[in-house]
């Protein structure tokens, strides 16, 4: 499922080598404007362009590895029976990873229908977006108007967890 810690080490080592390699012979950098060749970049500009390209390539490769690890975290949390509750996984001296369920998306599909249900009180439940109270009502299995309200909304429930990595080291909580 994941590419392994050796891949991350190689990417980090590659990033360190990018700077060292750029000190040597920098490739020729041609300057174009709307397809017209304007000349050749001076060595300092050429070095900066090459460095930016190499670093961006390293970041893209690292992002792929990170995405694989995030997917593995989601899968292992589900396998362990810990999903869908919000979790914080703290790595001592490293940082933390949070895993949480993506919030359902609720949008008004029939404003007139909501007005028919609630009258003027609908304005207490709506602004430019669906307010929390209306969202909770629509997602409730117990509220007496829930089914009627859902007919006026578009509710998209996600069966997906989100994972956020925080590299700041926190001493408490």
Does position 136 have pLDDT exceeding 70, yes or no?
yes
Is the distance from CB of 60 to CB of 11 less than 8 angstroms? no
Domain range annotation of the chain: 5-81, 105-156
Is the distance from CB of 54 to CB of 22 less than 8 angstroms? yes
> Which two tokens mark 53?
């390209």
CA distance 152 to 113: 6
Strand partners, 130: 126
Q: How many CB atoms lie within 10 A of CB 59?
A: 13
For 66-93, how does the pLDDT look when each residue is reduced to its tens digit (9 = 90+)?
A: 999 999 998 998 888 887 778 888 988 8
For 16-64, how does the pLDDT look when each residue is reduced to its tens digit (9 = 90+)?
A: 666 565 556 778 999 998 889 999 999 999 998 888 888 888 888 889 9
Tell me the average pLDDT of the chain.
79
């Amino acid at each position: 499922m994941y590419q392994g810690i050796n891949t991350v080490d190689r990417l980090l080592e590659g990033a360190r080598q990018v700077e060292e390699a750029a000190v040597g012979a920098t490739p020729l950098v041609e300057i174009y404007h709307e397809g017209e060749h304007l000349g050749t970049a001076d060595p300092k500009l050429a070095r900066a362009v090459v460095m930016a390209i190499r670093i961006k390539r390293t970041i893209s490769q690292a992002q792929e590895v990170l995405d694989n690890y995030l997917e593995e975290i989601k899968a292992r949390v589900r396998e362990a029976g810990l999903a869908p509750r919000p979790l914080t996984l703290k790595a001592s001296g490293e940082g933390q990873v949070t895993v949480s369920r993506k919030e359902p998306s609720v949008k008004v599909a029939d404003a007139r229908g909501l007005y028919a249900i609630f009258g003027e009180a609908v304005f207490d439940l709506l602004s430019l977006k669906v307010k929390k109270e209306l969202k909770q009502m629509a997602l409730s299995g117990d509220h007496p108007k829930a089914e009627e309200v859902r007919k006026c909304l578009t509710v998209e429930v996600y069966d997906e967890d989100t994972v956020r990595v925080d590299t700041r080291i926190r001493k408490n909580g």
